[in-house]
Structure 1
């Protein structure tokens, strides 16, 4: 059986380990931060302690040989999924799925709490260090790999000079997940046509011919082409 003193020590360690991970999420301004991760870790640790003690007490007190110390703890793994789903649904207004990392963090923090409650303190500490490294160091690696896969183009576009047309163009870039890096107007503000160059970047399989084709298919767009390499420097600067 896990004594009261051992239980308190394990709960305190779970508090510290959960707080370490929660602090990183809080610093990134995520929907689940310091308190959420700490509570999940303490709660799962407590469930593990109770699960072990109940199974052991029934075994030694009543002679039940089929008592399972994993039964309560197993429900934590599935139950914590509701919290993870909540962090994803909190971002449902965005066009892309967000909150997956925080949801995975909540799930793995619950696992850390279970391991702590089971008494594998060294494993729990090492797991926490590895999780913290993934959240802090791997994000830089992820950013580096993302930038290596990012494509850049400079487009010259002519379209109707109306507010509705501008909104249509903005919606096109948003739907295709294309980032507008810089923009330069080439025509006057009062003319019937708006002509401009725009530097874009994106990640994916979309080719430059696909971008041009989709732009020309937009209502009100009369011209869309890739700017030649020698003119990129004049168009790339921020306006």
Structure 2
């Protein structure tokens, strides 16, 4: 059985390891931060310790040979899924999802707590180090890959100066995963038609003609011009 002193040591280690992962999420201002990750790791470790001790006690005291030391701990894996789901935010209008990495970190930190509770301290420490590396250093790799799969393009639009026109345009950008980097109005505020310039972050395989056709299909858009790498691709007018 796991003694009280050893249980306390494992719980303290779970606090430290969970805190390392939680610190990185807290630094990124995520929905689940330092305290959440510490509590998940601590609770998982406690469940594993109790699960092992109950199984061992039933075996030595009552002679039960079918005691499962992982029965209580197994519920952590499914239970932590509800907590992870709470960190995922879905934007149905923009068709985007945020918080998947934080939800995954909660799931991993629960596994780390179980490993600590089972007594595999070196394995838990190594796993925590790997998770910390993935959350920090791999961010640069992710940004590098994004830069090589996406590029900026400049759009010139002429639209009706009507209520909700800018909202329709931004909703289109969000719905088609086009990141708006800059936006500038060139015409007077009281003008009947508004002339704007926008810079978008788009994928390399963007079809300029298709984008122009869809923009011109928006209500109130009169002209659309897409410039890419200082070369005019398409100019259309209704």
Q: Indicate how the Cα distance of structure 1 residues 134 and 149 shifts in structure 2: closer, same or farther if over 3 A, else same.
A: same
Which TM-score applies when normalising by structure 1?
Answer: 0.89
Which TM-score applies when normalising by structure 2?
Answer: 0.89
Task: Tell me the SS of whatever aligns to 2:86.
Answer: helix
- Structure-1 residue corresponding to 2:211: 211
Per-residue CA deviations over 1:75-110 (Å, capped at 9, x if unaligned) read: 11111111001111xx24573111111111111101
- Structure-2 residue corresponding to 1:178: 178
1:185 deviates by: 4.1
Question: Aligned runs of 1:226-237 on 2, under 5 Å?
Answer: 226-227=226-227, 229-230=229-230
2:157 is the alignment partner of 1:167:
no
1:229 deviates by: 4.9
Per-residue CA deviations over 1:170-198 (Å, capped at 9, x if unaligned) read: 22222222122333444444432222332
Counterpart contact for 2:153–2:228, Cα < 8 Å = no
- Structure-2 residue corresponding to 1:104: 104
User: C-alpha distance in 2, partners of 1:76/1:16?
Assistant: 19
Question: Aligned runs of 1:1-239 on 2, under 5 Å?
Answer: 1-88=1-88, 91-93=89-91, 95=94, 96-203=96-203, 206-227=206-227, 229-230=229-230
Q: Indicate how the Cα distance of structure 1 residues 229 and 65 shifts in structure 2: closer, same or farther if over 3 A, else same.
A: closer
User: C-alpha distance in 1, partners of 2:104/2:13?
Assistant: 21
Q: Indicate how the Cα distance of structure 1 residues 189 and 127 shifts in structure 2: closer, same or farther if over 3 A, else same.
A: same
Moved over 4 A (4+): 228-232
CA RMSD of aligned residues (A): 2.0
Task: Tell me the SS of whatever aligns to 2:159.
Answer: strand
Q: Counting strand residues as a fraction of each chain, which structure ranks higher?
A: 2
Count of residues paired in the alignment: 230
1:127 deviates by: 0.5
1:147 deviates by: 1.6
User: C-alpha distance in 1, partners of 2:230/2:52?
Assistant: 71
Per-residue CA deviations over 1:107-134 (Å, capped at 9, x if unaligned) read: 1101000000000000000000111111
Per-residue CA deviations over 1:179-231 (Å, capped at 9, x if unaligned) read: 22333444444432222332221247542122101011111212112237547
User: C-alpha distance in 1, partners of 2:115/2:106?
Assistant: 14
Which deviates further from its counterpart, 123-132 or 148-157? 148-157
Tell me, which stretches of 5 or more residues in structure 2 are unaligned? Answer: 233-238
Q: Counting helix residues as a fraction of each chain, which structure ranks higher?
A: 1
Tell me, which stretches of 5 or more residues in structure 1 are unaligned? Answer: 233-239
Task: Tell me the SS of whatever aligns to 1:80.
Answer: helix
Which deviates further from its counterpart, 184-193 or 96-105? 184-193
User: C-alpha distance in 2, partners of 1:177/1:125?
Assistant: 38
